[in-house]
Structure 1
Amino acid sequence: MATPRLTQKDMTESEQRELKTLLDRARIAHGRTLTNAETNQVKKEYTDKLMAQRETEAKKAR
């Protein structure tokens, strides 16, 4: 069964801060504000990474 998609509300404070840092780094790298598509791409990549990380931790706990 597929796990539901993580949202920012489901993230811990440190994970939310890390996401904000990644968005700031991407904005600085582009030298301008990010478009919605670029912002969503950064968020999706980080969320995918977090979900994979949590899945491996869950497998270890079993």
Structure 2
Amino acid sequence: DHNADYKGVIDVLLRTYKGEGILGFYKGALIATFKQTPNAIVTYVVYEHARRIAESFNNNY
């Protein structure tokens, strides 16, 4: 029930588990992973490129 009033975190956890099982805690995780993957790739590539530039700068001076 999306409009239920919860009594706290434990209540949310118990209702989720009873209503949807253990997989209820992972609902939406696959989509979130697909959304975040391009960002992680770009961040890693930019970081590695910046690290190499910094290393070459330090080695030259």
Q: Which has the larger radius of gyration?
A: 2
TM-score by shorter chain over 0.5:
no
Question: How does the TM-score come out when normalised to structure 2?
Answer: 0.42
Return the TM-score normalized by structure 1. 0.41
